[in-house]
Amino acid sequence: MGVSERKQRLRDERERRIVEAARHIAEREGWGAVTIRRLADEIEYSQPVLYTHYANREAIVAAVAVDGFVKLAAMLRSAGQGAPDPAEAAARAAGAYLSFAAGHPALYEAMFVLPTGLRFGSDDTVAPLREAFAALAAIVAPFHPANEAATEFLWSALHGLAELERTGRIRPEARPERLSLLIRALVNA
């Protein structure tokens, strides 16, 4: 391995550690506890070193979010596998989405709530966001082929449910009924 490859590997490892540390601090204490100073202390590097990787805290949150979209896309792709029909596959994927949001609240918050500068549906949308959208589009496709609006409808409905559940504003025991209504709306629209 050459010097440049080794330096790049070390740089990539530092970035991974920064992202992991940010996510872990946020999971334990909330995003308010995630500061450049705190991250530098956590990974035992100076603040200037962190700034050579990320311009600011928002950029670190964006990196955490991108990592989350990789995980979400993989989870959505696998959730409906083996389902007896497309409606059941959609129901399984929708349930998995809500479980993902509930199981990783700090990660989900980075992905969808905190300012990151990440954008969907634009020329500069990064690949992990496109892949997550494509995973949702594959769920919608049996009912609404090549319909971005239908995919956005499903995503926005799931996000609304996830946020209302996360903040305790809707009854957790009614999740199955809500998902059933959502899937019927998707299938019959």
Q: What angle do CA 131, 84, 82 make, to 5 degrees?
A: 50
Q: How many angstroms separate the CA atoms of 178 and 141, rounded?
A: 21
How do residues 56-73 score in pLDDT, each as one tens digit?
999 999 999 999 999 999
What pLDDT score was predicted for residue 78? 97
Residue 57, token pair as written in the block: 């805290």
With cut-offs at 50, 70 and 90, classify the pLDDT of residue 189. Answer: confident
Task: Please write down the HEC assignment for all residues of 107-156.
Answer: HHHHHHCCCCCCCCCCCCCCHHHHHHHHHHHHHHCCCCCCCHHHHHHHHH
The pLDDT mean for the chain works out to 95
Say yes or no to pLDDT of 120 above 90: no
What pLDDT score was predicted for residue 122? 87
- Residues 182 and 94 sit within 8 Å (Cβ to Cβ): yes
What pLDDT score was predicted for residue 2? 86
| Greatest C-alpha distance within the chain | 59
Among residues 41, 44, 43, 22, the alpha carbon closest in space to that of 33 is found at 22
How do residues 156-175 score in pLDDT, each as one tens digit?
999 999 999 999 999 999 99
Average pLDDT estimate for 45-57: 94
Say yes or no to pLDDT of 39 above 90: yes
- Full set of structural domains in the chain with CATH: 1-54 (1.10.10.60), 62-188 (1.10.357.10)
pTM for the model stands at 0.92
What pLDDT score was predicted for residue 38? 96
- Residues 153 and 139 sit within 8 Å (Cβ to Cβ): no
Q: Which of 1-5, 11-15, 70-74, 90-94 is the least confident region?
A: 1-5
Q: How many angstroms separate the CA atoms of 36 and 52, rounded?
A: 12
The CA-based dihedral angle spanning residues 150, 103, 163, 138, taken in that order and rounded to the nearest 10 degrees: 0
How do residues 83-117 score in pLDDT, each as one tens digit?
999 999 999 999 999 999 999 999 999 999 999 99
Among residues 67, 136, 149, the alpha carbon closest in space to that of 108 is found at 67
